[in-house]
Each structure stands twice: as C-alpha cells, then as structure tokens.
Chain A
Amino acid sequence: MKLLQQSMDPNQKRAKAVDRVDSVDTGVASFDSTRMCPFPDEVLERVLSLIDSHKDRSSVSLVCKDWYNAERWSRRHVFIGNCYSVSPEIVAARFPRIRSVTLKGKPRFSDFNLVPEYWGADVHPWLSVFATAYPFLEELRLKRMAVSDESLEFLATNFQGFKALSLLSCDGFSTDGLKAIATHCKNLTELDIHENGMDDLGGHWLNCFPESLTTLQVLNFASLNSEVSFESLEKLISRNKSLRVLKVNRNISLDQLQKLLLQAPQLSELGTGTFMQELISCPITDLKTTFSNCKNLVTISGLWDATSLYLPVIYPACVNLTFLNLSYATLRSGELSNLLQHCKSLRRLWLLDTVGDKGLEAVGAHCPLLEELRVFPADPFDQEVFLGVTESGFVSVSEGCPKLRYVLYFCRQMTNAAVATIARNCPDFTHFRLCIMNPGQPDYLTKQPMDEAFGSIVKTCPNLQRLAVSGQLTDRTFEYIGKYSKKLETLSVAFAGSSDLGMEYVLGGCPKLRKLEIRDCPFGNGALLSGLTKYESMRSLWMSACNVTMNGCKVLAKERPRLNVEVMKDEGGDGSEAHKVYVYRTVAGPRRDAPPFVLTL
C-alpha cells in the first residue's frame, strides 16, 4: 500500500467543494466541482467501485481530493503488505467501508527460521480495531502473522457476517482456534489453512461445523496432520453444494476420496489424501469414472505416496487440468511421463526432483503451454547420494515450454551456458528463482562464478519482476542486475557478492525495487547507506549476517525518520554488529510492541 499522503486529513468529511492545490486558481474560495470533475460523487464512487487492483486504487486516490474521497469510500478490500507500515487506526480512519482485509506480517525469511520467535506481527490489535470499525468484515487473509486461538475466537464471535478466513504461514494457534471459527461463523464460505506453525491437537474441529452450514465454497486442511472424522466430512461435503475447492489431508484414503468425489463432482480444485492403499475396496475403474465425472476440475494437488498403481485414475481429469501440484508425490521420471501425456493444457506444474532430468524432458515434451514450473528438492540435506535435477533438465523444459514465466528451481549444479540458453528460450520470465543448493558454488564445468548466468537473465528478460540468485557470485552479477532489470521488484540474495559495490549497484539501479532481502553477504555500512534515498520507495529491506554495524544503522535511522530501522540483537557478539537488520517505511512510527531483542533505532 502506498504511503498515505500525510497532507490529506483522512478524517475530513466528504465535501462537494474541490479543495485542490492548484496554482492557477489559488484565489478562488469555492469552486464549481462540475467544471473540473464532471461526475457527481455518486457516479464517481460507482465507477471507482469497479476498480479492484489496489495499485490502481492507489493511483486513483492521488488524482485529486475528490477522487481520494470517492476512492476511500468505495474501497471494499484493503491490502497491507507490511503490517507495521501502517496502524489499524489509520486504516480504519481512511477506509470506512472495508469488507475484506489482506495482511502480511513477518519478513519472508521467517519462513526459514531466520526470525526469532515472538518477533511480533500479532493480528489481535488489528482485530480489536476492526471489531468497532468494520463489524461487517467478511474476509480476512493473513500471511506470516502471529495468530492465537483467542484471536480466532474473537474473530469468530465479533464479526457476524464473517465469511472467509485464509491463514498462510502463520503461527501461534491450534485446532482449538479452528473450532471457534467452525462453530460460530454461520455464513462461512472459506476456510483455508495452509502450512502454518500450528498445534494440531486433533481433528475434532471439523465436527464443529453446524448441520445448518451450507455455504462453504473453499475448505483446505491439507497441511493438518490429525485425522478428522470421515463421517462428519462426508456429511459436510454433501450438504455444501457450492464447494469448489476441497483439499483434504493425508489421512483421507482413496476409498474415502472416492466417496467424497461422488458427493462433490462440481469441484474445481481438489487436494487428495494419500494415493496409496494396500487394499482398495472399490475397483480402480470406479475411481477413474469418478474422476472423469468431475468436469470442472482444473487443479489437483496432494497425491501423497502416489505411484503408477493408482495415478492413472486421474488421467480422465488431466485433459482439463491447468495446475498440477506433485510436490508431495515422490514420482520417478517414468510415472511422470505417463501422467503428463494426458496433461496437454497444463499451465502450472510443481514437482519433486525425484523425477530427475528425464522427468523434466517429459515436461518439455508434453506441456507446451506451461507457464510456471517449481521443482522442489526431495532431500535437501542429502549429502552422499547425487540425486535430483541438473541444468540439463531445466534446459529441456525451456526448449519445450517457451511460455515459461515463473520458475523456482532447486538443483545441485548449474552452468552459465545452460542459463543463457534457458533465457534465450524463455524471454518472458517474470519470476526467476534459482537455488543452487550448495552456497557459493561456481559453474561446475568452467569453475567460473555464476555471474554470466544471471546476467543473461536480466539482459534477455525485460519483464523480470522477481529474482532469486545463488551460486558463487561476484559484484558483477549485481552490476548486471542494477543496469538491466528495469522492472525488478523483489530480489533475494544469499552468500553472494564481493564488496559493498554489489549492493550499491542494485540500489543505484532497479527503479521498481520494492523488496530486497539479503543474507550472508559482505555488504557493509557503505552499501546500506547508499540506499538512503531509495528505501522510502520500497516496502522493506532485510539484511542478516552481513557486515553492517549498529553505527551504520543509526545513521540510516537518523537520516530517514519515516523508516523503521530495526536491529535484532544477537546472543553473543560484542554488540556493535547489526546481525539482523529490517528496514521498512511506515506511517505508524516505531513499533510499540517490539520484543526486547528488537531495537528500533
């Protein structure tokens, strides 16, 4: 969300008179608004209410006071990318009619345990304000927020019309909180619980949905480990005929899945349970028929333990699939190849690297419309055995899938030449995230740094929005990035660079940069301070295990009062190093809820 214009008083009542700073008409006291703004407010609001994109809405709000007001009254959904960039009170004051909130909290590296526990991003202060300001709140989507059971109960009991809850990478709650949601939210349409740090105390929460609930459209509990009552689930599914998204957990067997799908052939997204069963009670052809009756299926995920024994049952549904998530299915190349031959319409594919380069050849051969590929490592800490995918698999995909835009690729070896080929084959990349798993590893053939690889990406792909680099990289990589990537918004760097210059290149170029996250690089205070004029146009900067000191951070904080410069104290060390630094723009001032180990300078 763009920084609020502090010159505009958010409490100003709606006024018909235009009150603009206009160098031509400074002497005019009142102004006929129809001259410059031909629409009555009601029409303007109606028109603006059709605009969904929050970026567009931010632009709209900057046109003039009239538009600012019309926009704020017509906005129904607010997106807050950093919960500390603004306070709930400010949001509530500016936007009186919000029905849907998306809120993101911790820095992304918290996903990898780089942010200590109890850092913050508690949702409760937000809920307290919303309870008064938005009693009719319908949707809440949280990512990397700290959420307690009490908060979930508060949410469930204070918002009568609440409909949709999505929790992604949050932590601090348990299935007890889910019980509260299921029990109290009579109009629930969506419950989407995805990969959170939560306590799974059992599957009883599912039993808390009342018999009267028939409005469910989305139910995702794939990442919960406890078994739920199948009887309850089946009844729930059968009476919620609007269900479009169902993602069950691994405990649901194939037999049970069969029964569920018979009740819900209208599903468009399915996450299965386990796809292996010793003795299946219905014939396999029944399962196949069931899948073929699901005419709306476009997404399949889950497929835990899937093998060639049962995988063919989904073939009838594959022809319409646009997204296939096999990232929890340890398939080999043969199984994947057989499967993909049925998946000509695939746009997005997530895989485990157990499929190997041969599996990726099959991807290139059978999925010409592919736009997104993610390859995850099955055994990221495997030391001894060489498994997984290499540069050649990636090249194969690029040859068969010229429309590739989004790639996340974990591998153990890569070459500059391969990446150059890939860039040539797929110039439309918007997201290029390459993770060579051994930190600082060079091109394994030439032994050169991987500078030219990323150079070729930024030179060849003008639409690049997101880049994650790895391997042995000198400052040259960053010189390329700063010089060529005009649309880059997010950059992730680890174990790279040679000197401050690296970071300076990036901060000096990349006009659209919003998020910069850096770990274990030799960038120091000079680099940090070179971004002095840039950080306010960015969402945030993360630097950990670099060469930044407290003094450098203090200088930054002093020069830029509208940034929060937070240093996370580390046990040990002499206190002069700034081990973890998180810098972000804010209109809310320094955090009032910072734990003792977070120092705001």
Chain B
Amino acid sequence: MSIEEHDYIGFSEANMEKKACDITNNKDLNLKATELRLGLPGFESPEREAVNGGAIKNLVAGAKRGFSDTINGGSGNWVFAGNGGSEVNLVKNGGLFSCSKVENKNSGCVKETAVLASPKPVLLEKKSANSNVPAPKQQVVGWPPIRSFRKNTMAVGQTKNTEDNDPNIGSGCLYVKVSMDGAPYLRKVDLEIYSSYLDLSSALEKMFSCFTIGQYGSHGAHTRDGLSESRLMDLLHGSEYVLTYEDKDGDWMLVGDVPWDMFIGSCKRMRIMKSSDAIGLAPRAMEKCRNRT
C-alpha cells in the first residue's frame, strides 16, 4: 500500500489543483470533521471517538507527524508552512496549547505541547463527506496571534460554564479556593506558583494571619503581617488547625501525604480546619490530631 500524501482536508496531491472554492462548495463537507487535533502523548480528548482506527489514535498519541508542503500555484489553497520550516516545528517555549477543555489525566497542568514536523506526509485517510465525527483541528504555532500573557491567563478557563469548585487548569495558573474556619471570607491561591508544601504553607500562614491575631493577641515579635512567623507556625502546626484539601474524588484529605505534583494535580480546594472538627478525616489525619493535643 502506498501512502499518498494528503493535505489537511484529505485530498490527495492530484486534487490540489482544484481551487479551494470547489472544496468549500461541498456543503456536506464539514471542515471540522477533517481537521486534525494534536495532543500530548497519553492525552485523551473526551470528544474523540475512535475513528479510522490507527491514524487518529496515532495523532492523539502524539506520534511524530508532519505536514506536507501544500503550497502550490492554485489560488486560495490554504497554505501550510514550507518544508523544514513549518511553523509547526518545535519552538522553545512555543505556545501550542491543546484544547483547554480537555481533561488532563496526568498530574500537573497542561504544558505547552510540542509538535514536530519533519516533512513527512500526513497519514490521513480521505474523509467521507458524511463523516459526522468532529476531527480535531490542527493548531499552529503562534496562531491565532495572541500574546502569551493573555493565552496563559485565559487558559484558566474563566467561562461561566465552569463550576466554581473546579480547579482551573491551564498552563501557568491553578487557582483553588482556601477557606479557614472562622474567617469571614475565602481566599484563592494559585498552586502553580509554589514549588513545595513548605512554600504553600508559609504563604497560607501569611494570608490568614489576620484572622488568628484576633484570637491570640500580640504575642511575640511582629512582622509586617502582624504576627510572628514562629507564632503562626505554632498555631498552624499545633493543635488548633489542620490543613486539609478536597481531592478530585470529593474526599477530604490531609495536606502533605502525597507528593507535591500529585497534590496540585488533584487538589480542588483547601480548608484550614479546627482540628477538633477533623473527625472523619483519613485516619492518619486523626492520628496526627491526637498526637498534637
């Protein structure tokens, strides 16, 4: 079987002489159905159905793929990058983002995906006009032309459709709510900016210090935040409070048990609980409470 080079909508080279309007005049042809989606290895899209078996699965699996040079003299064909210079090449810190709606099975956030293009033909079988499978659209480096800051920020998934409780997964941001028993309002922290539990806990201590000061008065030396760090550490690591989180399964867990990366991948929100309320937590949490009192 010879592999015939196809352009993105599944037409062979021979047909590329046709003007683009011929193609687009085919009203049954759903352009979306013939589009290519690229993703990280092991990356599953919930919308994807098993179509054309191997070809699509390979693409989903992030196998190396290339795009033929479809530049020709025909008018209006949409043009991919040229040989060896495809903009689909890996660019360091290139911003090829996978669809932000897709579930990420890996721990951590969706980082920029890499798409490699050695000039190989695309293994794409010709789509039938009646195909009703929404095939993925190919994403090109630097397109649409949106600056990185905006891309990173909007990838947090700010649309109203997302549940308030959903951790907003995106590259660069992972905001989760943090509540503290007795505090009048909640805070939100971006887990992405911390690199360890220590980082996180000192940040939380600073954030919530104003609520504990009322209860404990002015003991010890004061920092700018109003309460000495050592005093705070005592409070939070002492018998009064435990730091817990709700994971993806809806269970409340003690912060600190799992590796950091796993934690930020599964944490939906956090709660600084009075340890007296921490009954019914994972046994280790309860044991920890008992040890403290």
Contacts and interface: CB of A to CB of B under 8 A. Distances in A.
Contacts, number: 193
Interface stretch (A177-185, A364-372, A503-511, A570-578): A570-578
B110 to A, nearest CB: 11
A379 B154 contact: yes
Interface string B146-160: 111111011000111
A495 B79 contact: yes
Given A114-B141, A520-B79, A573 B101 contact: no
B197 interface: no
24 contacts: A196-B149, A197-B148, A227-B203, A229-B225, A231-B226, A328-B158, A378-B154, A381-B100, A383-B47, A383-B136, A440-B76, A441-B78, A442-B76, A447-B24, A498-B74, A519-B142, A521-B79, A522-B71, A545-B82, A545-B86, A570-B85, A572-B117, A579-B85, A580-B85
Contacts of A441: 78
A593 B75 CA distance: 41
Contacts of B86: 545
Contacts of B118: 572
Contact of A435 (B76, B82, B145): B145
Contacts of B32: 383
B207 interface: yes
A280 B184 CA distance: 8
A379 B159 contact: yes
B144 interface: yes
B219 interface: no
B10 interface: no
A561 interface: no
Given A112-B142, A112-B147, A379-B154, A570 B76 contact: no
Given A278-B186, A474-B75, 12 more contacts: A195-B149, A281-B184, A382-B100, A410-B146, A437-B143, A437-B144, A439-B78, A440-B78, A440-B79, A447-B25, A495-B79, A547-B71
Nearest to B190: A225
For the residues of B in contact with A, the DSSP-based class is: loop
B97 interface: yes
Interface in B158-173: 158-160, 173
B99 interface: yes
Contacts of B158: 305, 328, 330, 378
Contacts of B61: none
Interface stretch (B87-95, B257-265, B281-289): B87-95
Given A381-B100, A498-B74, A498-B76, A113 B93 contact: yes
B160 A330 contact: yes
B137 interface: yes
A286 interface: no
A102 interface: no
Contacts of A570: 84-85, 89
Nearest to B96: A113
A316 to B, nearest CB: 24
Contacts of A492: 145
B193 A200 contact: yes
A327 B146 CA distance: 12
B89 to A, nearest CB: 7
- The residue among B25, B80, B89, B158 with the most chain A CB atoms within 10 A of its own CB is B158
B21 interface: yes
A442 to B, nearest CB: 6
B87 A544 contact: yes
B207 to A, nearest CB: 7
A354 interface: yes
Interface of A: 109, 111-114, 116-117, 169, 195-197, 200, 207, 223, 225-227, 229, 231-232, 253, 255, 274, 277-281, 305, 327-328, 330, 332, 354, 376-384, 410, 435, 437-442, 447-449, 472-475, 492, 494-496, 498-499, 519-522, 544-547, 570-574, 577, 579-580
Contacts of A545: 81-82, 85-87
Interface in B205-261: 207, 224-226
B21 A572 contact: no
A492 B98 CA distance: 25
Nearest to B141: A113
A109 B95 CA distance: 13
Contact of B24 (A382, A442, A522): A442
B51 interface: no
A280 B139 CA distance: 42
Contacts of B85: 544-545, 570, 573, 577, 579-580
B140 interface: yes
Contacts of A472: 20, 76, 78
Interface in B101-122: 101, 117-118
A117 B137 CA distance: 27
Contact of A330 (B137, B151, B159): B159
Contacts of B95: 112-113
B67 to A, nearest CB: 11
A114 B82 contact: no
B224 A111 contact: no
Contacts of A499: 73
